[in-house]
Amino acid sequence: MSDKKRVSRQRMEEQNPNVRIHNFKEVPLGFTEEQAIIEADRCLQCAKPLCVEGCPVFIDIPEFIKHIKEKNFREAIDTIKNFNILPAICGRVCPQEVQCEGKCVLGKRWEPIAIGALERFVADWERNNMIKSCPECMPPNSIKVAVIGCGPASITCAADLAKYGYDVTIFEAFHTGGGVLVYGIPEFRLPKAIVADEINTLTEMGVKIHYNAIIGKIYSIQDLRDMGFKAFFIGVGAGLPMFLKVPGLKLIGVLSANEFLTRANLMKAYSFPEYDTPINVGKIVTVIGGGNVALDSARTALRLGANKVIIVYRRSEKEMPARQEEYHHAKEEGIEFQFLTNPVRFIGDENDNVIQMECIRMELGEPDESGRRRPIPIENTEFIINTNTVIIAVGTRANPVLTKSTSDLKLNKWGYIETDEDGRTNIEDIFAGGDIVTGSATVISAMGAGRKAAIEINKYLQNKK
Amino acid sequence: MDLETPQIAKKAHAGNFIIIRINEKGERIPLTIADYDSILGTITIVFQVVGKTTTLLSHLNEGDDILDVAGPLGNAIHIKKYENPVVVIGGGIGIAPAYPQAKELKEAGNKILTIIGARTKKLLFWKDKMASVSEELVICTDDGSEGIKGVVTEPLRKIITEKKVSLVIAIGPLLMMKYVVLTTNGSSGLPKIDTMVSLNPIMIDGTGMCGGCRYLTNTGEVYFACVDGPDVDGHTVDFDNLIKRSMRYKEQEMKSIEHYEHECKAIEKLNKNKN
Ligand SMILES: Cc1cc2nc3c(=O)[nH]c(=O)nc-3n(C[C@H](O)[C@H](O)[C@H](O)COP(=O)(O)OP(=O)(O)OC[C@H]3O[C@@H](n4cnc5c(N)ncnc54)[C@H](O)[C@@H]3O)c2cc1C
Ligand code: SF4
Ligand code: FES
- Per-residue pLDDT at B267 exceeds 70: no
**Cα Rg of chain B (Å, integer):** 19
Nearest-CA distance from B252 to chain A in Å? Answer: 6
A92 touches chain B (CB under 8 A): no
CB contact under 8 A, B73 and A214: yes
Residue range B90-126, pLDDT digits in tens: 998 899 889 999 999 999 999 999 999 999 888 898 9
- Per the CB < 8 A criterion, the answer to whether B141 and B121 are in contact is yes
Among A212, A242, A270, most B C-beta atoms within 10 A, so best to mutate, is A212
- Cβ neighbours of residue A36 closer than 8 Å, sequence gap 6 or more: A10, A68, A117, A118, A121, A122
Q: What number is the average pLDDT over the span B144-154?
A: 89
The CB of A43 under 6 Å from ligand 2? The reply is: yes
Give φ, ψ of A374 to 5 degrees. Answer: -75, 130
Nearest-CA distance from B201 to chain A in Å? Answer: 13
Nearest-CA distance from A136 to chain B in Å? Answer: 32
CB contact under 8 A, A268 and B25: yes
- Per the CB < 8 A criterion, the answer to whether A433 and A419 are in contact is yes
In B99-161, beta strands by DSSP E: 112-118, 136-141, 148-149
Task: Give the pLDDT of residue A360.
Answer: 96
How many angstroms separate the CA atoms of A295 and A257, rounded? 10
How many angstroms separate the CA atoms of A262 and A339, rounded? 26
- Tell me which ligand sits closest to the C-alpha of residue A447: 1
Q: What number is the average pLDDT over the span B32-40?
A: 88
- Per the CB < 8 A criterion, the answer to whether A381 and A275 are in contact is no
B79 touches chain A (CB under 8 A): no
Q: Nearest-CA residue of chain A relative to B263? A: A274
How many angstroms separate the CA atoms of B32 and B29, rounded? 10
Task: Give the pLDDT of residue A153.
Answer: 96
B70 touches chain A (CB under 8 A): yes
Minimum CA distance residue for ligand 2 atom 4 = A46
Q: Using CB atoms, pick whichever of B8, B26, B245 lies closest to residue A252.
A: B245
- Reply yes or no on domain B2-73 having CATH 2.40.30.10: yes
Nearest-CA distance from A435 to chain B in Å? Answer: 14
Task: Give the pLDDT of residue B49.
Answer: 80
Task: Give the pLDDT of residue B204.
Answer: 85
Task: Give the pLDDT of residue B48.
Answer: 80
> Would you put residue B150 in left (φ > 0), alpha (ψ -120 to 50) or beta?
left
CB contact under 8 A, A173 and B210: no
Task: Give the pLDDT of residue A424.
Answer: 93
User: Among residues 140-179 of chain B, which lie with CB inside 8 Å of chain A?
Assistant: none
Q: How many residues does chain A have?
A: 465
Q: What angle, rounded to 10 degrees, do the helices at B153-162 and B174-184 form? A: 20
Q: Percentage of chain B surpassing pLDDT 70?
A: 90
A221 touches chain B (CB under 8 A): no
- B254: pLDDT confidence band, cut at 50, 70 and 90? low
* Predicted complex ipTM exceeds 0.90: no
* Tens digit of each residue's pLDDT, chain A (465 residues): 445 556 789 999 999 999 999 999 999 999 999 999 999 999 999 999 999 999 988 999 999 999 999 999 999 999 998 888 899 999 999 999 999 999 999 998 889 999 999 999 999 999 988 777 777 888 999 999 999 999 999 999 999 999 999 999 999 999 899 999 998 999 999 999 999 998 998 999 999 999 999 998 889 999 999 999 999 999 999 988 888 888 888 888 999 999 999 888 877 767 777 777 777 788 899 999 999 999 999 999 999 989 999 999 999 998 898 998 899 999 999 999 999 999 999 999 988 899 999 999 999 998 887 777 889 999 999 999 999 999 999 988 888 888 888 889 999 988 899 999 899 999 999 999 999 999 989 999 999 999 999 999 999 999 987
Ligand 3: list residues with CB < 6 Å: B 203-206, 208-213, 224, 226
Q: What number is the average pLDDT over the span B11-21?
A: 88
How many angstroms separate the CA atoms of A419 and A449, rounded? 11
Q: Which atom of ligand 2 is nearest to the CA of A105?
A: 1
B15 touches chain A (CB under 8 A): no
Query: How far is ligand 2, taken at its centre, from the CA of residue A6, in Å?
Result: 15
Strand pairing report for B231-233 and A144-148: unpaired
- Per the CB < 8 A criterion, the answer to whether A224 and A187 are in contact is no
- Per the CB < 8 A criterion, the answer to whether B214 and B225 are in contact is yes
Give φ, ψ of A360 to 5 degrees. Answer: -135, 145
- Tell me which ligand sits closest to the C-alpha of residue A453: 1
CB atoms within 10 A of CB A196: 14
B76 touches chain A (CB under 8 A): no
Task: Give the pLDDT of residue B263.
Answer: 66
Angle at B224 between CA B188 and CA A388, to 5 degrees: 95
How many angstroms separate the CA atoms of B118 and B104, rounded? 23
Nearest-CA distance from B71 to chain A in Å? Answer: 6
Q: Nearest-CA residue of chain A relative to B26? A: A276
Question: Domain segments of chain B: what residues?
Answer: 2-73
Q: Which atom of ligand 3 is nearest to the CA of A258?
A: 2
Q: Using CB atoms, pick whichever of B53, B68, B210 lies closest to residue A259.
A: B210
- Per the CB < 8 A criterion, the answer to whether B212 and B201 are in contact is yes
Q: How many residues does chain B have?
A: 275
Task: Give the pLDDT of residue B264.
Answer: 66
CB contact under 8 A, A218 and B71: yes
Query: How far is ligand 1, taken at its centre, from the CA of residue B214, in Å?
Result: 21
- Per-residue pLDDT at B275 exceeds 60: no
Predicted TM-score (pTM) of the model is 0.88
